[in-house]
Structure 1
């Protein structure tokens, strides 16, 4: 491994004060009993790209909201003792979300969940014709996205096998080359209705060239959307300036809003008059007359007009508080210089010698401009297993968990390690690399 001083890096880390705001999971190994020394000790939690940690403030906030519900009931929609009235609570979140994705506040709505928002956006923006009907995306997009693409194509009467065009990495490679994405846009662009990529690929951690994808796709007359589930709060973006048409995201990963946390969406302001929402719900109605219950729909301008139902208050309140209190979220650029090292494969984790039985390959791009806060480690032995039926990846993951290193396994053969700058330290990354090496040494001797 390269020589780094994690203690010095942690001491100089401008984000170090945020770690104390979070509950760190305690040691609870799977399949083994924790020793007396291990019991109650914090784990090294490197699964923030799957579920962010619980903020200590959230406990206080949830109790507050329950007490408000108990004491004020329906009146809290407009009369809230902590200045979080329930009726406009989503409006309190949109300015921070807009700054995260590089948008104007009126272009962002806090609402729904990721896939329901994706279907909502595709209902508005995927308008195929016999000559322009394709959906261009990355191969092995997140399954829920794939299901949405296929079902939307079928809903419009097209064969998903023909309509959904997936771009795969080259043979022997794991990330998509930028030139191959552009070549696919050039080849299929005239027949493509929608180009829809992830911002950061969930499996490999690749940060796609969003600005160039948008520019090239728009030059071919395509609508451009992004799934930002693994990008929001992770990498800097400028959706408005890039001319992205729409985007959707969840908030329970790098934004730490809790399991099932409320989602968000972006709609470029140019669509306000060109293509207003096709589907209407009462929460997208003008708030000044919403509770008058008029029969005719009077939509809110901008992304808020896409709202269908009132948001889940507790999750929205928690997200608003997290975004407001964590100043880091105001500018995601603060993240990358200070915590680029622990996400770098060169700095903390290197693949063992190729001939080693437990060797792995880092499939996340090494270039910092092409990755988010994630390392994906691939064990290419999907057909190999031990007498207990476990593949090498499963054995490594179980051994890491048994030693308090919490990553994320993705079948068939990938372990994802995601240090989140708000609460992970450089020392934790070095500790995880050390434990991984010990685990591999132990397995190699078996």
Structure 2
């Protein structure tokens, strides 16, 4: 056996390229496709402007319930018949809902994609939505949410979101709803959301060997029988900075750990500083080697891990830090975390730190873009956020070319430690006085 004393150096980075993007207007909709020569599998996804932002107040979770009901059959077939139709093609229906969009997709061998897209359109445009099925799906979702909300985290997340965006605003409430809002969803709510949002043409995303695919025919299958214009785009939200920090305490009696959620509002996804913000957050808290993880986990031993990042949607973003620490060290962990954010804002990043962040982000991008499914997701990013077709082709070089001065300037501009909301979910009887003694901000009891 031979021991290697020195770690081998990494090899040269493999060439990275994003496939060419083709846009084809069809039947009132738009097909956006990526050409993957020789790829035997093809992916297609209907992208609709039916995200969580469009849900009615008090009925948050409607879009999620609707998405899960698409597998319960269509106007033409019951659930078993629809499942068999998919199985004959070797296809599987997938759905996803986020703030900005509603997606339903299929993946099959390229030659079978036309039939799969027909089934996809059948599920999205004419779902059965039997009242009994909708009620059962809703009740299952309520049960799952109640179990989730019994764990540490969701209440802290909800308290932070409500404080940053306002509990009366849709963005200030959980994206998939809470147990009460989902329980309030009726069959009529689901039918109305479908009629209003899922009968518009939308965008068909396709990733595969385009030499084997007829995009016009796929678009005709996806958009046939639809009507309505796209909803007008709403401008990005402002990014107000709080005048002072405050601590929101979510009481969890008897808890042996405290869940930490720190955050403030940030720019939207298409903001010009996306790359530099991402790199600054990677240095601060976005990787195992980050400043926060080194201090809070490795040096102080307060936690198994801590993460900080910028989360961004079409209209808003937020900078956030999340962790769980031992109850006894809640206050010092909070002080050290705010201190590290402040240091990053004031002092910027170093060349050594940025070199690691650049390499990791660029390498991660190259790895992520290896499958048709990931290419399809990248196409969705282009469409939802209005980015140019060559965006992903140049993104890797943007990461690698970012300078210390640029990333440090982004940290100075977009990190606001003095305006953070600090949410702590833990045993209030044990930690309240310690939190007040930190001087980080007024301690307020959460409303959730």
Q: Name the TM-score, length of structure 2 as normaliser.
A: 0.24
Q: Name the TM-score, length of structure 1 as normaliser.
A: 0.24
**Which structure features the higher share of strand residues?**
2
